[in-house]
Amino acid sequence: MPAVSEHPPQLTERMLLGIVQRTLQERLPSGWSVGELEIPASDSGADAIVVVTAPTGPALRVLVETKRLVEPRDVQRIGDQLLSRARETSDIGLVAARYLSPTVRQRLEDVGLSFVDATGNVRVRSDSPALFLADRGLDRDPWRGPGRPRGTLKGAPAAQVVRALLDAPGPMRIRELVASSQASTGSVYRVVEFLETEDLLVRRKDGALAVPSWVSVLRRWCADYEFLTTNTVSRWIAPRGVDSVIRAAIETNPASYVVTGSVAAATWAAYAPARSVHAYATNASEIARQWGLRPTETGANVLIAEPAYEVLMRGARQRQDGLSVAAPVQVAADLLNGPGRAPSEAEELIEWMVGHEDDWR
């Protein structure tokens, strides 16, 4: 990965094209070569053409489009323009930029475009001649300056806005989102702007905000939120097993805890018998005492998280047996980044949620 200076590089189109040439040359197998840049006609839909020659077989023409900045919402338009020309000539299309975010890189891959950025993120794929190059650079823009739109969904305001957008079907106006999220107006605007740049939220002509895919928003939030690392988590052993914990929890004041993870997911989409209990509680030690737990560093079968944000316990509901469980969206989020079979349990729950939106939103 190339060294990164603390100041954003003033990369011209020519410099980006040079980065593409060097990137290809440094990573190509022995015997392959990269030709000089060709500047095509202005109506070609590309800024340059790079010819890659294999030891045997046909040469590969790479149509390169340079961009100062690429947002997720730009990818489809870029793809339509670049790929239409590439298909005509059996070439491949490649986008070059100073930095490409993980979301943008995934979108480029999804539409069939290759890419190179100045931090070392590389993906070049061709069927004829057969070629695949990939390398990992940075997952955060190292040159994002102060005062620019926030580049993550970390923090309480983001969690509040995301949960508000996911828990209710929408669309909703800004003032409704402020009220339902209980976040400040400024925070809501910042999160909304970020979600718009990620192509996860759209403004309708009447000004209302709509989420085309709540699943995509959930997955994006989980890139910045994780049960085990965001919260203060303590580990405990229930000597009599998981069932004893559930029985004790049912007898506990439901306002003092919410169960999440596998046990909660089984409320809607049973996957397999739960091997551990994950829960939120504002006073973990007191809940552990009421549930008869012992602290441990290894072999824990109960994890209790003191929530980093109040919203994580919001929307809890009681099962028919009296157990307090987290909102389905929160349970899915907690499982997506979990260990072992947890991500598979998350997918099972999400599949149920997609088919039963009227039951939980």
Please state the three-class secondary structure of 125-183 as a single string.
Answer: EECCCCEEEEECCCCCCCCCCCCCCCCCCCCHHHHHHHHHHHHCCCCECHHHHHHHHCC
Task: Label residue 265 by pLDDT band (50, 70, 90).
Answer: very high
Q: Are 190 and 233 members of one domain?
A: no
Residue 349 lies in a domain: yes
Q: Does one domain contain both 231 and 356?
A: yes
The verdict on residue 112 lying in a domain is: yes
Domain of 348? 227-360
In this prediction, residues 130-141 reach a mean pLDDT of 89
| 353 lies in some domain | yes
Single out the residue in 205, 221, 237 at which a domain terminates: 221
Does residue 167 share a domain with residue 251? no
Q: Residue 141 — pLDDT band, cuts 50, 70, 90?
A: confident
Domain boundary among 221, 241, 256: 221
Question: Is residue 55 domain-shared with residue 101, that is, in the same domain?
Answer: yes
What confidence score (pLDDT) does residue 58 get?
Answer: 80
* Average per-residue pLDDT for the chain: 90
Q: Is the pLDDT of residue 83 over 70?
A: yes
78 and 180 within one domain: no
Residue 140: the pLDDT is: 81
Which is higher by pLDDT, 40 or 324?
324
- pLDDT for 273: 87
Cβ–Cβ < 8 Å for 300, 276: yes
Contacts of 355 (CB under 8 A, 6+ apart): none
Residues 265 and 347 in one domain: yes
Structurally, the chain folds into a number of domains equal to 3
- What's this model's pTM, rounded to 2 decimal places? 0.70
Q: What is the mean pLDDT of residues 289-308?
A: 95
Report whether pLDDT(87) > 80. no
pLDDT greater than 80 at residue 359: yes
| Residues 270, 339, 347: CA angle, nearest 5 degrees | 40
Do the domain assignments include residue 160?
Answer: yes
User: 4 in a domain, yes or no?
Assistant: no
149 part of a folded domain: no
> What are the Cα distances from residue 73, in Å, to 1, 23, 103?
27, 26, 10
**How many Å apart are CA 92 and CA 75, to the nearest integer?**
15
CATH code of the domain containing 337: 3.30.460
Domain boundary among 196, 221, 246: 221
Q: What is the pLDDT of residues 270-288, one digit of tens each?
A: 888 899 999 999 999 999 9
191 and 73 together in one domain: no
Instruction: Give 42's pLDDT tier (boundaries 50, 70, 90).
Output: low
